[in-house]
Structure 1
Amino acid sequence: MKILITVDPEIPVPPKLYGGIERVVHQLGQGYQSLGHEVILLAHPESNSTNFHQRHAWPALKSRGTRNIYTNAKKLRHVVKSEQPDLIHSFSRIAYLPFIWEFKGAIIQTFQRKISNTTTRLAKNFFGERLHLTACGRHMFQSLSKPEHWSAVPNCCDTEFLTQPTTTGRTHLAFLGRIEPIKGILEAIKFAQSVQTPLVIAGNIEPEWESFFENEVKPHIDGTLIQYIGTVDDIAKRNLLSGAIGFLMLIQWEEPFGIVMAEALACGAPVIALNRGSVPEIVEHGINGIVGDSIASLIQTYPLVDKISEQVCRMDAVNRFSIDAVASLYLKILTSNDALK
């Protein structure tokens, strides 16, 4: 089968630094190839992923705005006509789809952010059974008017690269993510201070949050109990997570997925999380982490982390979030709409 994967044009595939969706697309190309399919990519012109048989570039590098949408939709139409795929797996704008109305193959439209009930309902009415709607978390579509039209498929991570430590022990709590309030950085610091366990913080600071970092985060950084190591590459991320007693996911919003939870589990680190967003879909209390409704409740149950098996955490990640497992789940949708409900 020939599969065309599309993704929004802002960030190359794979991303040079951060870019969760683009990294998932890069890995999914590998997964589809390993299952014996020919995979085509339509993405940012600087995309250099070798996980695709052919790459095409969007002409407009912004996904918003009428002109940009029209320009890229025309490009999609051209690529579909020239490549003749059997399946289009879209991580890009659903607004492009009307331009390929003649396409008779299957379409998987995957959402990684807030979903428009109106737009998706119109698209489903137009394309019918050809269009399969998916989201990276079940919580994202449960309140929509037709949740039965949706399937939840988790994001994947490279579980072969992300491994448990072989010699070094687990010495710290870990926080990995953008340094901003909704990611729970202040809550992570409070937790570490309360349980008196060293916290290593890694993540980027966007310009609009520099003053937040300087005024509210930096005063807590002492290099001993609270340490900030800046942005990290893949190897440094693996080292951070594989040496972690637990990964802190104390989010202050409804996070669609949170791939770093899967990455932490792959490294054998249990997740310590507030019960929001995708957390209850990923973390099972007492099995691969601890879940609570408040920081106070997590502090109280923190001793349970010592009883959680590293191997159980890792095998859970391999079984649910490995590249091949997730690629297979997506293709299963094509044969049974009820497969993932």
Structure 2
Amino acid sequence: MVSATDDLQGWRDELRIVMVAPPWYEVPPRGYGGIESVLAELITGLSRRGHEVTLVGAGRSDTPARFLRTYTSPPSERIGQALPEVLHAARAYDMIAGIDADVVHDHSLAGPLTAGARPVPTVVTCHHEVDGEFGGYYRALGTSVSMVAISEAQRRIAPDLNWAGVVHNAVETGSFPFREHKEDWVLWLGRFNQDKGAHLAVDAARAAGRRILLAGRITEPGEQEYFDHKVRPRLGPDALYIGEADAARKRELLAAARCLLFPIQWEEPFGMVMIEAMACGTPVVALGRGAVPEVVVDGLTGFVRSRPEELAEAVEAVGALDPRDCRARVRSRFDVEVMAEGYERIYRRAAAAPDGLAGEADGLALPVR
């Protein structure tokens, strides 16, 4: 294989990148919005590296990028409906047509359908699962887009997709408060979805004799149903639901908690809350599905277990872990600078390869460590 260095000699330092956000939340999000949080961090990192970034999204934006708006306000109340997504994609395509860009990086669902109609390459990050109907969709896009996985675990599920590489999600480590001395309660934070396992977190904390705080979003009917049937009956003096946490409150909770419980019930492609916790020096106790073993170093930055009944013992064992190791893991592996460098390499290869990056994924992203 020709090396990335050989391919890119003579390429100018500055890239002109168009970033397409999903339409549902602002960038950065005011509350929930995992993709939008990553997107805001990536834009910041790329801008620091001297690249010119244009963001296409909904509502308002607070990033270094030039901003083009498809919706005055994000249609968050219609999340999951097809028309807002399709209209967003159509408007984005029209806006991008007037921009002199080197690469388009699309994070939306419908947007990649327009990739084949533009002269510049399109990179797509797979923020969703890559099996089932999603896998069929990404497969149907063929070589019109270069796909980026957010974990090796995700790429292994569908190795036949047109992968350009693997780049882990990241955070601005310095934006999370480090706290060495923790309080005696544990935390669960996320969407109230069966797959996120909030009810198992309550069971594990209770078995460990620890109080648990649960913070998360309940907006969709399925989330409310799950909360009412599986979580609410488990609440009590030692298990409190404290509502959805904004960015500031989330950092306070993550920094103070004894540990973060992450008892996922599906092949989670990444799990941002894990690196957010570790950035605060807070270890993670998780079930080892999806990308968990890539993110958490068992016995160093948390504990990875196979069965829910093993979590309680791990909750007690985290007291022996050093919060500084958690912070160091994020700074060296999951910091914005690492993510931006990984994407930059993929952008340059995509821009230099008119026929796409099919079959050349192995040398593109920073190595998974």
Matched to 1:202, the amino acid is: A
* Equivalence for 1:164: 178
- Is residue 339 from structure 1 mapped to residue 369 from structure 2 by the alignment? no
Structure 2 Cα separation of the partners of residues 308 and 5 of structure 1 = 39
SS in 2 for 1:230: coil
Matched to 2:45, the amino acid is: G
Q: What is the CA-CA distance between 1:132 and the residue it aligns to?
A: 2.5
- Is residue 144 from structure 1 mapped to residue 158 from structure 2 by the alignment? yes
Q: Is this contact kept in 2: 1:3–1:85, CA < 8 A?
A: yes
Consecutive unaligned residues in structure 2, runs of 5 or more: 1-14, 350-360
Question: What does the per-residue CA deviation read over 1:104-132, in whole Å, with 9 as the maximum and x for residues that have no partner?
Answer: 3x42211110234444344343x4xxx43
Alpha carbons of structure 1 residues 110 and 94: separation in structure 2 relative to 1, 3 Å: farther
Q: Which of 11, 14, 18 pairs up with 1:4?
A: 18
Alpha carbons of structure 1 residues 197 and 283: separation in structure 2 relative to 1, 3 Å: same
Q: What is the CA-CA distance between 1:68 and the residue it aligns to?
A: 5.7
SS in 1 for 2:345: helix
Q: What is the CA-CA distance between 1:248 and the residue it aligns to?
A: 0.2
Question: What does the per-residue CA deviation read over 1:239-264, in whole Å, with 9 as the maximum and x for residues that have no partner?
Answer: 11111111000011222221100100
1:1-341 to structure 2, matched below 5 A, reads 1-44=15-58, 46-57=59-70, 71-93=87-109, 96-98=112-114, 101-104=117-120, 106-115=121-130, 116-125=134-143, 127=144, 131-146=145-160, 149-165=163-179, 169-206=182-219, 208=221, 209-223=223-237, 225-334=238-347, 337=361, 338-340=363-365
Matched to 1:85, the amino acid is: A
Matched to 1:290, the amino acid is: F
SS in 2 for 1:298: helix
Q: Is this contact kept in 1: 2:30–2:247, CA < 8 A?
A: no
Alpha carbons of structure 1 residues 221 and 58: separation in structure 2 relative to 1, 3 Å: closer
| Matched residue count | 333
Structure 2 Cα separation of the partners of residues 191 and 57 of structure 1 = 44
Higher mean displacement: 307-316 or 150-159:
150-159
Alpha carbons of structure 1 residues 175 and 87: separation in structure 2 relative to 1, 3 Å: same
SS in 2 for 1:160: helix
Q: Is this contact kept in 1: 2:44–2:64, CA < 8 A?
A: yes
Alpha carbons of structure 1 residues 82 and 207: separation in structure 2 relative to 1, 3 Å: closer
Structure 1 Cα separation of the partners of residues 86 and 242 of structure 2 = 42
Q: What is the CA-CA distance between 1:51 and the residue it aligns to?
A: 2.4
TM, length-normalised to structure 2? 0.81
Q: What is the CA-CA distance between 1:81 and the residue it aligns to?
A: 2.6
Higher mean displacement: 273-282 or 52-61:
52-61
Q: Following superposition, which runs of at least 4 residues in structure 1 exceed 6 angstroms of deviation?
A: 62-67
Structure 2 Cα separation of the partners of residues 334 and 25 of structure 1 = 15
Alpha carbons of structure 1 residues 13 and 335: separation in structure 2 relative to 1, 3 Å: closer
Q: Is this contact kept in 2: 1:73–1:99, CA < 8 A?
A: no
Q: What is the CA-CA distance between 1:172 and the residue it aligns to?
A: 1.4
Higher mean displacement: 286-295 or 106-115:
106-115
Structure 1 Cα separation of the partners of residues 81 and 187 of structure 2 = 38
Q: Is this contact kept in 2: 1:94–1:109, CA < 8 A?
A: no
Q: Is this contact kept in 1: 2:23–2:85, CA < 8 A?
A: no
Q: What is the CA-CA distance between 1:207 and the residue it aligns to?
A: 5.0
TM, length-normalised to structure 1? 0.87
Structure 1 Cα separation of the partners of residues 26 and 67 of structure 2 = 15
Matched to 1:162, the amino acid is: F
Alpha carbons of structure 1 residues 18 and 27: separation in structure 2 relative to 1, 3 Å: same
Higher mean displacement: 3-12 or 48-57:
48-57
Q: What is the CA-CA distance between 1:302 and the residue it aligns to?
A: 4.0
**Cα RMSD (Å):** 2.7
Structure 1 Cα separation of the partners of residues 55 and 341 of structure 2 = 18
Question: What does the per-residue CA deviation read over 1:5-55, in whole Å, with 9 as the maximum and x for residues that have no partner?
Answer: 0022122222221111111111211111111111101111x1222321233
Alpha carbons of structure 1 residues 189 and 56: separation in structure 2 relative to 1, 3 Å: same
Question: Which one has more relative contact order, counting CA pairs under 8 Å at least 6 apart?
Answer: 2
Matched to 1:110, the amino acid is: T
